[in-house]
Amino acid sequence: MIISILNYALFAVLLIYGFRVRFRSAENLNTQLIFYYTVAAAIAALGLGIGYSSALSRYSGAALFFIRLTASAVAGTHILVFMLAFSFPYERNLRIIRTIGMFAWAAVAVVILFSDLYEAQVTWEAGELVHVRGPLFIPVVVGGFALGILSGIILSIRRLFFKSQIYKLQTLLVIVGLFSGYIITFALAVFLPVQFGLVWTYPFMMLGGTLLALTLGYGVSITRLIDIRSVVSSLSSFILYSLVVGVISGSIYALLYLFIRDLPFFIVVLVGVAVFFVVDIISGRLRSQFKSLLQGQGAYAERLETGLSQLDYSKGRDAVISEFIEQLQKNMGCSSIHLFIENDEEQLVLAGSSSKAINSNNNSIPRKSPAIDHLLNEDVSILIKTEIITNYDYHTVKDELLKLLDTYNSDALVLLRDGRSVIGALLLGAKSNGAEFLDYDYDSLRRIYGKLFVTAYYLKNIAQESLVMTVDRELEFSEQIIQSLQENMDRIEHPHADISFMTRSARKLGGDFIDFIRLTKDRYICVMGDVSGKGLNASMSMVILKSIIRTYLKETKDFKTLIVRVNSFIKEYLPRGTFFAGFIGLFDFNERSLYYINCGIPTMLLLSSAYNNPVEIQGAGKVLGFVKDIAPYINVRKAGFKAGDILLVTTDGLIDAESVRGVRFGKERLQASLLENRSLSAERIVRFLNEDVTEFISQEINDDITILTIKFI
C-alpha cells in the first residue's frame, strides 16, 4: 500500500509540474517535449501504483495490464528525451525525427501492451511482486537505457559548439539530470532486481524519472547564469561549519567529560550545551570570513549599496552623475556604464557615460517603443542579455532589445520607473574580466534598484540639465522645481471643513512638506511632516517620498500597510540616516472623522466646541525609517469631530523655535494662540500663529515649520 501511495504522489507531482512548465515557461518545442515527458512519466507512476494495488488485491490481469502500461509510458520517455537531445536548447522543428519517434513509440507500445514478449505475467507471492519476463524484456529495457545515455552523449558533444554561456549552462543541467535520472531508474528497475534479486527496488524506479523531469524543467526555464563561485562558497562554508561544530565541539566535550562525568546529570548536559554554543559562535565567524575570502571582490552588493547611499546630492548634477557612475563601475566591474534620463521631450537622453567612444547619433533612446512598452506591460525593470536570448517571452521584441544592447556594447538593461513612466535607464557593459552577468548580478541590481531610482528621480525632477545653467543658479532653479512639485496636491474644498496650512523653510530648501490626496469627494489622505536633513538633500527626499506615497496608494487599500511600505522605502532606498517625523491620516469629512497613525508628529491639538482647553491627541508615535518592519510598533487611531471643533497640527520646528534668550516657544504658547483665535477662520488662525512665532523669536527660524488647521463645520 505504501508503494502505491508513493507512486500516486509521484503521479500528482509530475502532472502538476508538467503543466507548470507548460504554462509558466516559454511556449516552444523544447517546453512541449518536456511537458510530454512529464505526462508520460506521470502515467508510468500511476500505472505502477495501480499495478501494485491490483496485484495486492489478487487481480492478476489488471496488475499485468497496468505494469505493461508503465513500461509503454517509460518507452515513450526514452524517445522524447532522444528528440530533446537534437533540439535543445535551440528552437528546432525536427519533423522527420518526431515522426519516426512517434511511430517507434506506437510500435513498442503495441508490442508491450498486447503480447507476452515483454511481460508475460505478474503475481503477488510471499509479500512481493513476481514478474514473469518475456524474451524482449532485456532488449527493451537495455535499449531504452542506451537511448537515454546516447541522448546525453549527443547533448554533451553539441554543447562543445555552443558560444552562449547561458546555453552551455542550460545544457549542462539537462545532461547532469539525464545521466543521474537514467542511472537511478535503470539501477532500481533492472540492475538490482535482475542481478541481485532485490525485487523491492522495482516500484521505486520512477524516482529517477521524477528527478529527470524536475531537472529538464529547471534547465529550460533558467535564463540567468548561476554564480558557481557563490555555490561553491556556500557549500564550503557549510562543510566548514559542520566540521567545526561537529568535530571540534565533540572533541572538546569528550575531554571535558573526563573531568565532569561524576557530577550530576544536569551539569553534564549544561556543559555540553555551553560547549556547543561557544563553538557555534566561533564557527559562525569562521564561516563568514571563509565565504568572504572565497567570494573576494565578487560580493559587491553591500559595498555598492553603501556607496550609493552616501551620494551627496547637494554637489550638483555633474558631480552626482560622475560619482554615481564611478560607484557602479568600481563595484560591478563593468566595462562601460551609460546613464539615460528623460528630458522634456519624453526622450531618454544620455546624461553620463564612462565611455568616451559614444557616437553623437547614439545619445538618446525612445521612451516609447514596442520593446519598452513590452517590458512595462510585463512589469520588467531589470533585464540581462541572457534572458533576452533564452526567454521566449521576449521573442516579439528580441531583435529590438538585442540591437539596443549591441549599440552600446552592453549586457544588461535597467529601466528606472516611476510607476508606469520610465524616467531613466542604465545600460551596463560587459564585465571587464570577461565574465558574464550572473544571477548574483541580477539580485544585486534588484537590491539597489531603489537607490538607482532615487538618483534618476533627482536628475529628472530636481537637477534637469535644461534648468540648471550654472552652479551659482542651481539652488535657485532647484527651489523653483521643488516648490512646484510641493504645490502639486489635491486641494480640499468641502462644505464640512475650513482648511488652511503653511510651510516655512529655514533655508531656501527644506524637508517639511504637506500633501493631500483625494480618494473620493469626502475622503482624503493627508501626509504632513519633516524629512530629516537640511537643504537640497532633504528637499529631494521629501519630493521622492511624496511621489512614492501616491504610487503605493494605487497598489494598496489598507491604511496600515501603506505606512509599513512607506517606512520600508525610507529605510531601504533613501540616503542612509533619512527618517520621517510626521503623521499620515485619512479624513472622512462627511462623517467628520480622522483615522491616523502618529509617525513622530510632536503636536496634534483638538479644541472641542464643548471645552475651553485644547487636548493633545497624537499619542505615542514611531518615526519612519529607523527600523525595517514598523508594523509591530504602530496602531491606527481614530478621532471624531463635531461642528465647531478645531484640529491643529504642527511640526517640531514651531514648538522648538527659540527666542534670542534661548526660550522655547513650546506647546503652552501654541495652545494659548489657538484659544485666542478660535473664533477666526482657519486661514487667520494659521497666519496669526505664524506671526506669533516670528515675533517671539525676533530672528530667522532655525528649523522648517509646517502648520495645518482644520475647522469642522
In this predicted model, what pLDDT tens digit does every residue of 225-263 receive, in sequence order? 665 555 555 555 555 556 656 677 677 777 777 777 777
For residue 499, pLDDT beyond 80: yes
* Mean of per-residue pLDDT scores for the chain: 81
Mean pLDDT, rounded, for 537-543: 74
Q: Report the relative pairing of strands 615-616 and 580-588 from DSSP bridges.
A: unpaired
Give the range among 423-427, 622-626, 702-706 with minimum mean pLDDT.
702-706
Mean pLDDT, rounded, for 179-205: 85
For residue 712, pLDDT beyond 60: yes
For residue 480, pLDDT beyond 60: no
- Backbone torsions φ then ψ of 640, nearest 5 degrees: -105, 150
* Residue 527 in grid coordinates: 501626509
For residue 700, pLDDT beyond 60: yes
pLDDT (0 to 100) of residue 419: 66
Residue count of the chain, please give it. Answer: 713
Strand 646-650: give its sheet, edge to edge.
Answer: 497-504, 705-712, 646-650, 603-607, 615-616
CA distance 688 to 665: 14
pLDDT band at 704 (very low <50, low <70, confident <90, very high): confident
In this predicted model, what pLDDT tens digit does every residue of 594-620 receive, in sequence order? 999 999 898 999 998 777 788 888 887
- DSSP 3-state assignment of 216? helix
For residue 294, pLDDT beyond 60: no
pLDDT (0 to 100) of residue 26: 56
For residue 587, pLDDT beyond 90: yes
| Whole-number Cα distances in Å, 477 to 502, 535, 665 | 21, 13, 33
Mean pLDDT, rounded, for 22-42: 82
In this predicted model, what pLDDT tens digit does every residue of 208-227 receive, in sequence order? 989 899 888 888 777 766 65
76 and 102 in contact (C-beta within 8 Å)? no
In this predicted model, what pLDDT tens digit does every residue of 54-95 receive, in sequence order? 888 878 888 889 989 999 999 999 999 998 888 888 766 667
Angle at 25 (CA atoms; ends 22, 27), nearest 5 degrees: 65
pLDDT (0 to 100) of residue 609: 76
Mean pLDDT, rounded, for 4-20: 88
pLDDT (0 to 100) of residue 508: 53
pLDDT band at 33 (very low <50, low <70, confident <90, very high): confident
Give 157-198 as a 3 state SS string: HHHCCCCCHHHHHHHHHHHHHHHHHHHHHHHHHHHHHHHHCC
Q: Which long-range contacts (CB under 8 A, 24 or more apart) does 302-310 make?
A: 303/331, 304/328, 304/331, 304/332, 304/444, 304/448, 305/447, 305/448, 305/451, 306/576, 307/331, 308/448, 308/451, 308/452, 308/455, 309/451, 309/575, 309/576, 310/575, 310/576
Q: Is the peptide bond prior to 203 cis by the omega test (within 30 degrees of 0)?
A: no
pLDDT band at 275 (very low <50, low <70, confident <90, very high): confident
